[in-house]
Structure 1
Amino acid sequence: MEPWLFAVITSPLCFTATIFNFFFFFCLLRPASGVTLRNPIRFLLIIVLLNSTSLQLDIALTIVMLLSKSPFWLQTVSRALIYQFFCGNFTCNAWISIFYYMSIVPQHHPILVWIKRNLRVVLYIGFTVNQIFLVFSLSMGAVTYFLITPLEVNLTSLNSSSQAAIFESELYLFHFANFCYLLYCTCPLVTLVVSWGRTFLYLREHMKKMSQSSESFSQPQQKSQMRVTVTGMVQAALFLPSSLWTVAASILYLTDLFEIVDPNRFITLTFCSASSLGNLLCFGFSQSVFRQRLVSVFKKQKSNTKS
């Protein structure tokens, strides 16, 4: 992808997503009357908004760096941070799907029953371990990538055995970090698809039973569960292209073909920006704290216009 095309596509995405991020932060700080949001969902939504805002601002910085010759280390750190924020959001979505799956679907297996009883503790510990694992893999990958590139240049001019040994060790660490990153990206994808899929199947069967018994599927809680589940499925579908590209990029990294497919990382960064915006729009529809606050703002604006 050409730099100008990357800037043209991602600039409106960054601007739109940043506006939504700030508005959703306002919704969390000043929710509409009658809306309460408790942890751990509130905690995960805050992390999602922080990661999304940082992601879009970092991509905007990347666009600015295209106008000047930025140092190599700054470009490496910037892209590592973008991957960090994007994958952090990916993990948050996976834990949100687990939370709703445990809350909506009845559990019968002893292990799942125990997890449901201790869901908050499991979620916090699991999220922390995930982030440590992500920071470890991306930090090691960024450092080794930063060290490998000058070694490649030196090896072309000085074919010394010591430099070759150093290069091989750094390359091994880089591939190990990339394998950890591949594993990290694959697990949330599977979690999203399985948890939202099983939740949707449960609610569909529940609706069939209610229709057979002539019961009405009109209770607010049931409507909310179905809305959250459907938008969760949409989120999984939105994450599918970007996550598949991330997994494919990690595999290409292992085979050293990524430099040919996406040498400037513009395709990957565009996927990250577009996926983050789509994720925000899904949250705006599924989470009542955002949806009802938006409705209240429109009603207030309409009443002010009439008066």
Structure 2
Amino acid sequence: MFHSIHWSFSISISLKTFQSVNVPLSLFSIFMDIFFIFCLSPVSEQQRLKPPLLVLLGSLVGCNTALHFFTLLFVLSDFANSLSETDSYSFYYFTAQCLLFTMRVSITSCLWLNVFYYCQIVPARHPFLIMLKRNIRLFVYSALIIDKFFFLEEFIVYIASYLIRLYRKPEIYNSTYTNMVTNALIVDIWLRLVYFFFSVCMMLASGCATISYLRRHMRNMEKSSRSSARLQSQLRVTITGIIQTLLYLLCSVWLILDDVAFYLTTADFDQKAYIFYTVISLYSFGTNINLGVGQTVFREQAILIWQKLFGSFLD
């Protein structure tokens, strides 16, 4: 019932290729995340980030750490060769759901991080934006909690659906359960499409509006022969936010294509989920690079550590 379109093609990568890409990628990303956690826990009170920025960055770093941990666990355990076919697929499925959950929470944190910087940088004129700017902390916290519950509910539904299907009774599965799963799948795909377009539009709108304002402001400062390092830092953060939106766009399009090919066609589309894992890992790695370049707290700490190491080496 799911495979209604008959396509005879195959897309996959080998286990060796998957391991050679994801092992160094995950290890390097985990080391970066450890460094970010160190930067988010400064010794002095003056260096401490204020919420909700600290919460947003902490959520991003935590999700990326968990995501690469799951990927590394999958690669190193070599379940594909040591377990039976059913157990292997169960491991793939559970790990995939964990990766999807952490990736979606990471995307949510990126979305509200863009909105937060927009509210902090661009002067508010519309009554709704004025209200949003005054209550940005409450708004961000509420959005993060609601989004996490939404994604957690989806995670539980998919896990429960898989367990029921795994231990099903044939007579139930062939009638009632098949219709329930099909309807739930259609609803889930539409919800994900709506959320996908909402997130992209929000991230692009906030990022482009912030860049437009900063460019006008920097042009005015150049005419008056003034410069501001703070404005350049804000512009850097906004540009990395736009890049993050493009990363999310590419990653989400691939995941939607993966869902469509798996559920609605007969194509042999990434049966071992190696491409699936790799795409998410690359997205998370790109997010880490953006954090390192765009966030002042990470960049300045990295420069400080480099100067200390380089200076001690010269001494």
TM-score class normalised by the smaller sequence: 0.7 to 0.9
Distance in 2 (CA, whole Å) between partners of 1:103 and 1:290 is 19
Structure 2 residue 17 is the aligned partner of structure 1 residue 8? no
Residue 78 of structure 1: CA displacement? 1.2
Residue 124 (structure 1) aligns with: 141
Structure 2 residue 176 is the aligned partner of structure 1 residue 165? yes
Distance in 2 (CA, whole Å) between partners of 1:105 and 1:266 is 42
CA 30–258 in structure 1, closer or farther in 2 if over 3 Å, else same:
farther
Match of 1:291 among 299, 306, 309: 299
Gaps of 5+ in 2: 1-11
Gaps of 5+ in 1: none
Residue 7 of structure 1: CA displacement? 1.7
Alignment-mate amino acid for residue 183 of structure 2: Y
Residue 204 (structure 2) aligns with: 193
Residue 243 of structure 1: CA displacement? 2.2
Residue 40 of structure 1: CA displacement? 0.7
Structure 2 residue 288 is the aligned partner of structure 1 residue 276? no
CA 221–269 in structure 1, closer or farther in 2 if over 3 Å, else same:
same
Alignment-mate amino acid for residue 197 of structure 1: C
Structure 2 residue 309 is the aligned partner of structure 1 residue 301? yes
Q: Deviations over 1:94-132 (max 9, x none)?
A: 010000011111121111110110000000001110111
RMSD of the alignment, in Å?
Answer: 2.4
Alignment-mate amino acid for residue 299 of structure 1: Q
8 Å Cα contact 2:161-2:181 kept in structure 1: yes
Residue 34 of structure 1: CA displacement? 6.0
Residue 209 (structure 1) aligns with: 220
Alignment-mate amino acid for residue 69 of structure 1: L
- Structure with greater contact order relative to length (CA < 8 Å, sep ≥ 6): 2
CA 149–31 in structure 1, closer or farther in 2 if over 3 Å, else same:
same
CA 182–243 in structure 1, closer or farther in 2 if over 3 Å, else same:
same
Query: Percent of pairs identical after alignment?
Result: 24
| Larger mean Cα displacement after TM superposition, 279-288 or 167-176 | 167-176
Residue 87 (structure 1) aligns with: 104
Residue 161 of structure 1: CA displacement? 7.7
Q: How many residues align?
A: 298
Structure 2 residue 126 is the aligned partner of structure 1 residue 109? yes
Distance in 1 (CA, whole Å) between partners of 2:56 and 2:218 is 29
Distance in 1 (CA, whole Å) between partners of 2:173 and 2:111 is 45
Residue 300 of structure 1: CA displacement? 1.2
Residue 226 of structure 1: CA displacement? 1.1
**TM-score if structure 1 supplies the norm length?**
0.88
CA 258–265 in structure 1, closer or farther in 2 if over 3 Å, else same:
farther
Find the residue that maps to 1:301 and give its secondary structure.
helix
8 Å Cα contact 1:203-1:226 kept in structure 2: yes
Distance in 2 (CA, whole Å) between partners of 1:98 and 1:62 is 34
Residue 241 (structure 1) aligns with: 250
Find the residue that maps to 2:82 and give its secondary structure.
coil
Residue 207 of structure 1: CA displacement? 2.6
Structure 2 residue 120 is the aligned partner of structure 1 residue 133? no
CA 32–197 in structure 1, closer or farther in 2 if over 3 Å, else same:
farther
